[in-house]
Amino acid sequence: MGAQLRVYKRRIKSVSATKKITRAMEMIAASRIIKAQRRVAASEPYAKELTRAVTAVAQGSDTQHPLLTEAEQPKRAAVLLITSDRGLAGGYNSNAIKAAEELNARLTAEGKEIVSFIVGNKGTAYYGFRNRPVEKSFTGFTDNPTYADAKAVSAPLIEAVQKDTAEGGVDELHIVYTEFVSMMTQAPLTDRMLPLTLEASGAEEAGGKGVLPLYDFEPSAEDVLDALLPRYVESRVYNALLQAAASKHAATRRAMQSATDNAEELIKSLTRLANAARQADITQEISEIVGGASALADANAGSDR
């Protein structure tokens, strides 16, 4: 029993050390969530106003811009999947990857070839393990993305959209990321960024802010769209990266909180087992003492006779 008690004590010590680590990680993630939320809120007005401006320019001109025009028979679609560089976030990465797999299956069923762009080590590792082709991957900034990171991610996407499909370009641009809904809820989201759906965008903006403004274009509407649409893609990607970062921190906090609670329960269970083992040792020692004393008393009584 003494050996068993030592085993329980070692396990309690090990679980207690793990509990300290998970508690620290939970507190770090909680502090990062607040910062990430503020950055998401700060990025949204710019993204909304830029979308409003692009929609207004597109609807106010007769220009058939390649980034706004639907292909008659789209052949290739680019899919940007945003995951994290690190794990310990519950089902955060697996849910985003699952949403991307469903989108890929739907696009493939429509007869479109998929061109994959991946953000984060987890998504890159998933595709690499399955030997799936990846056009370009980006890592190292998912916890704290900047606008420069968004520009780096957006550049090959914009280039692919501007190219003809015969030259390796794409007809559509889709994005898969995790939307931060609340501290407890983060939902994987799939969205088509390009070609921009003007009817839906215009109705949404008009419903919120009235009639869209009219513009005069200098030097031309096409030149204005050439300048605005790359900024539109960058702002959308930046907002998605920030949403994903906030969601990842929230998922990490929840996972670490669950791990801490499980460690506490395991410590309580091991403590009860250790107490039972110690009580059994004490009972056994008392029994041995009583038995030895009884045997000694019997031996003394025999010698007296």
Task: Give per-residue pLDDT as tens, 198-221.
Answer: 544 444 444 445 555 666 777 777
Total length of the chain: 305
DSSP 8-state code for residue 166? G
Does residue 133 sit in the same domain as residue 185? yes
Does residue 123 sit in the same domain as residue 246? yes
Lowest mean pLDDT among 4-13, 131-140, 227-236, 295-304: 295-304
70 belongs to a structural domain? yes
DSSP 8-state code for residue 212? P
Better-scored residue on pLDDT, 53 or 36: 36
Q: What CA–CA distance (Å, rounded) separates 296 from 288?
A: 12
Instruction: Using the predicted structure, report yes or no on whether residue 161 has a pLDDT greater than 90.
Output: no
- What is the residue-averaged pLDDT of the chain? 84
Residue 18, domain CATH: 1.10.287
Query: Residue 277: its pLDDT value, please?
Result: 82
Q: What CA–CA distance (Å, rounded) separates 124 from 131?
A: 10
| Phi, psi for 231 (deg, rounded to 5) | -65, -35
Conformation bin of residue 187: beta by default, left when phi > 0, alpha when psi is -120 to 50 = beta
Lowest mean pLDDT among 114-118, 175-179, 251-255: 251-255
Residue 244's domain spans which residues? 32-257
The pTM of this model reads: 0.80
304 belongs to a structural domain? no
- Locate all alpha helices (DSSP H) within the chain, ordered by sequence: 2-59, 92-109, 121-129, 147-162, 198-209, 221-304
Contact present, 76 and 113 (Cβ < 8 Å) = yes
Give the model confidence (pLDDT) of 116-147 as tens digits. Answer: 999 999 999 999 999 999 999 999 999 999 99
Does residue 136 sit in the same domain as residue 45? yes
Does residue 114 sit in the same domain as residue 6? no
Q: What CA–CA distance (Å, rounded) separates 237 from 154?
A: 7
% of the chain with per-residue pLDDT over 90: 41
Closest CA to 11 of 293, 288, 266, 292: 266
Rg of the chain in Å (alpha carbons): 31
Does residue 240 sit in the same domain as residue 200? yes
The number of folded domains in the chain is 2
Residue keyed to tokens 């987890």 = 122
Better-scored residue on pLDDT, 303 or 195: 195
